[in-house]
Amino acid sequence: MDSMAMRPALLLPEIVLFLGALAALLGGSFLPRTRQWVTRVVAAAALVLAAAMAAVALAGPTAVAMEGSFTVDPTTGVARLVATLGALVVLALAADEIDGSPRESETYALLLLSTTGTLVLAGADDLLVVAVGFLLTSVPLYGLIGITGTAVAAEAAMKTYLLGALFGILLLAGVTLLYGVSGTTSYAGLADPLAAAPRAVVAAGVVGILGGLLFKAGGVPAHFWVPDAAQGAGGAVAAFLTTVPKIGAVLAAYRLVAALPDTLAWPLLVAVLAVASMTVGNLAAYTQTDPRRLLGWSTVSQVGYLLVPVTVAGRSDLALPSLLLYLAGYTVTNLAAFAVTTAFPRRRELSAYRGVGRRYPWLAAALVVALLGLVGTPPTAVFVGKLTTTAAAWDAGDAWLAVLVLLNTLASLFYYLRWIAPLYARPTAEHPEDGDPPAPWSRWTAVATANLSVLVGVAAGVLWAVATA
């Protein structure tokens, strides 16, 4: 095969992450437990190098690699930057949580492998590459969720594995059906053959692939694993699995929908899934008392908002830029919220945060910014993301979808306020003011990411200009 057509140099960020994972895994096998932190440095170096390479490639022209099955364009570039920097934040959280643990190096290796799969999904322009990216993202997550060895983590890992196997089969069956009726797996050649193919077969194939991608994103109807995994996994892993894999899954769904012919009502299907995700996530979050489980259901609702630009793919020029901006804003904001939970790992009830604002004002302020940011309060990044995605739906003529986004946003405010309210309440004997001190890495990571959320929101105009250039 022509090496020029393969062009492996275009996949340097993915290659660096994969090699970094191998180095962390092998290196950890020969290092004593007291020096496992070296593998964290190796993982961080791989992520920084991959991010730097992604930034350099972002300034270059659009190109294709691997015989046209992988596209390196601004969308891939943004996904690479957001995913690698998000994973870097997760490593900072892990410094508090798993430093010196028996499975430290394995955790870093699995994080890098899953991030590599996310980048593969983000740039995939071929159904087979989507399948590879899905597996490379998903399989490491099963180990990450259960790696703590607790009963709750084991249950969450089993549920995630079973749902992942089911929706993975559906995705592979969908790929098989579309290949069977089109004779190709490349997006470039799908539209015309699918337009002439039996509609029932095409519908079944696309629904299967979207189902697999929604499992990876954590959206309805493949969402059941998310709150259990967020609650049962370690804090750093929970922050990762509710954030980074979504980037690749949602962008893969966008590329797929944009490549389909308009013989069936794909926009309506995705719109229904979007509304279902945002509504189910909001309703389920109302009764949660565990902060990480609440954030898990919040993640399900956020997937609904992220699917809105996918709904209007190809029908509004605002769709793709708004999606990229929302993904960046959601990533940093969600990581800020989870960083607070890893700063206080023993506070597993909302009421346990009583008085935190009096004792640790900066950390409480970071949590307020993160939670109000997830609602979509200005001037945070998610506010700009929701505003632009709603504008994209309106621009495409889906005013009803824009209205439902607004209504769900207002409804979500209640359960976030349930967490904010105790922060500034007077301490009690059950929850004294001088409770467990926050973990240092998580503390400063929470403050930094909360500030970054505001900064991205304030600078959204500049970022939008870059995204639409």
Q: Is 201 exposed, middle or buried (0-12, 13-18, 19+ CB in 10 A)?
A: middle
Residues with Cβ within 8 Å of 364's Cβ and at least 6 positions away in sequence, in order, are: 356, 357, 423, 424
Q: What is the pLDDT of residue 10?
A: 93
Spatial distance between the Cα atoms of 213 and 202, rounded to a whole number of angstroms:
17
Centroid of chain to Cα 347: 24
Q: What is the pLDDT of residue 2?
A: 47
Answer for the pair 18, 116: CB distance below 8 angstroms, yes or no: yes
Candidates 410, 457, 444; CA nearest to 336 is 444
Q: What is the pLDDT of residue 83?
A: 97
Map out the domains of the chain as residue ranges: 265-469
Q: What is the pLDDT of residue 1?
A: 41
Question: For residue 40, what are its two tokens?
Answer: 């964290």
Q: What is the pLDDT of residue 149?
A: 85
pLDDT tens across 293-341, in order? 999 999 999 999 999 999 999 899 999 999 999 999 999 999 999 999 9
Spatial distance between the Cα atoms of 181 and 197, rounded to a whole number of angstroms:
6
Candidates 104, 167, 105; CA nearest to 135 is 167
End-to-end CA gap in the chain: 35
| DSSP single-letter state for residue 360 | -
> Which residues of the chain register pLDDT less than 50?
1-4
Q: What is the pLDDT of residue 4?
A: 47
Spatial distance between the Cα atoms of 119 and 57, rounded to a whole number of angstroms:
14
pTM of the model: 0.95
